[in-house]
Chain A
Amino acid sequence: QVQLQESGPGLVKSSQTLSLTCSVSGGSVTTGTYYWSWIRQPAGKGLEWIGYVYKSGHTNYNPSLKSRVSISLDTSKNDFSLRLNSVTAADTAVYFCSRWYYDFWGDVWGKGTTVIVSS
């Protein structure tokens, strides 16, 4: 049973870089046809897709975040990471990592980690 766990700083200063890692257990990031994804949710609001990385290293990002975001895969550690540059208060949210079957549906989710951007 694949499980995901987010980790990283819970507090990031405005204009700096948010960095999170998603550790994958119970399965390999290199098997299957899965897009390893990041999704966020501001408090009291809906879900926003950030982007994904495929086992080949191919990435795809939300156009609204594309200029600031980078997602990478570390097959040696069986994890994948999110970097979001030049953060502002609008980036304060719960960040979830998730396993998606292509672009179609996310069947495994991490518990989420709260990131607060402070000034």
Chain B
Amino acid sequence: QSALAQPASVSGSPGQSITISCAGSSSDIGAFDFVSWYQQHPGKAPRLIIYDVSKRPSGISDRFSGSKSGNTASLTISGLQTEDEADFYCCSYAGDSTRVFGGGTKVTVL
């Protein structure tokens, strides 16, 4: 299946809010509430920050929030901080024991 579509880059100033979109289809995002988001700093492993569309793992800041509408999921980072500068990836279950990742979004804090 095709990768989920994410914008290549999103930027914002400290303290602002930004939203990253993740566009899928009726076979993945639209069909299941199993969207997850990962933050990856350069040279590091991905870190789970959102699962099941909008749930946060223990220890993840409430500045990160997730949502879904139709075939598109979104990650919002509020109160943007310099340490939020990283790559972000969405992922969705796509049925038949498959999952699909997004191409990634680079977040820059201006």
Contacts and interface: CB of A to CB of B under 8 A. Distances in A.
A52 B34 CA distance: 18
A110 B93 CA distance: 21
Contact of B97 (A48, A60, A106, A112): A60
Q: State the majority secondary structure of interface residues on A.
A: strand
A101 to B, nearest CB: 8
Interface residues of A, number: 16
Given A46-B3, A46-B103, A112-B45, A104 B98 contact: no
Contacts, number: 50
Contacts of B91: 47, 105
A103 B92 CA distance: 9
A111 interface: yes
B30 interface: no
A49 B3 CA distance: 11
Contacts of A107: 48, 51, 57
